[in-house]
Amino acid sequence: MARILIVEDEPRIASFVAKGLRADGYLATVAGDGREGLDQALSGEFDLMVLDIGLPGMDGFEVLDQLRAQGSRLPVIVLTARDSVTDTVSALEGGADDYMSKPFRFAELLARIRLRLRTSGDPGFPHDDVLQAGGVRLDLRTRRATVGDRVLDLSGQVLSREQLLDQVWGFDFDPGSNVVDVYVGYLRRKFGAGTIATVRGMGYRFRA
C-alpha cells in the first residue's frame, strides 16, 4: 500500500485530498508547512509527495531544491495556484515529476499519482490498488477478486463521498458539506431504498 505525503497549508484542500486518497486505498499523511514537509520527505517513509508551492516559511520551490540537493529521488507532484509558464518550468527544472494548477480535479490528480508510482524506482513496484496472495488477486478499486482464471464480482465498485463530491461539484466545494448525503437520499427515494447501499467507512455502491 503506497504512502503519500501531502504538503499543503490550506486545511480544507489538504483534508479533501487526504480523504480521497485514503478512500482509494492509500496511506496519506499531511504536513502543513515547508520545513515539516521536507523533514518528512527525507525520512524515507513515503513513496510520493504532493507538494504545494505557496507554503509558509519555506516555499515549495525551496523544499524541492533541498530535497533533490540531498539526493532524494522521491516522486513529487507540484500543486499551485500559479499557472504561469515560468512557474511550470521552474518546478520541472527544479526536479518535480509532474505539475498541476489549482483548481484541479481529484480524479486527474489520482491518475497522475498512479502513473508516477508505476514509473518510479523498481519497475516491479506493485500496484497499490491490487493485493495478491497465492493464486488470489483482489482489486481494491473495482472490488473484484480473481482466483486462477475465474473472476469474482464481489459487490461492485464503491465510490467515496470525496470522489462523488469531486466529480460533481469540484475540489473547491466544502468537503464538510452533507450535499452528497442529501442527493443520495433523493436517489434512494427515486430508485428505491435498497438500490444504493452504504459501505461503512468507504462510501456508496449501486445495487442493480
CATH number at residue 203: 1.10.10.10
11 and 96 together in one domain = yes
Write down the pLDDT at residue 125.
45
104 and 141 together in one domain = no
Question: Which of 178, 6, 206 shows the shortest CA–CA distance to 169?
Answer: 178
Question: Helices 106-119 and 11-23 sit at what angle, rounded to 10 degrees?
Answer: 60
pLDDT grade for 153, boundaries at 50, 70 and 90:
low
Asked if the structure places residue 124 within a domain, the reply is no
User: What predicted TM-score, i.e. pTM, was given to this entire model?
Assistant: 0.64
Domain end position, chosen among 87, 119, 151: 119
Write down the pLDDT at residue 45.
93
CB 6 within 8 A of CB 121: no
d(CA 1, CA 27): 7
How many C-beta atoms lie closer than 10 Å to residue 137's C-beta? 16
**pLDDT at residue 126 is higher than 50:** no
Domain end position, chosen among 67, 85, 119: 119
17 and 106 together in one domain = yes
Give the domain range for residue 179: 129-208
> pLDDT of 27-60, one tens digit each?
999 999 999 999 999 999 999 999 999 898 899 9
Domain end position, chosen among 92, 119, 146: 119
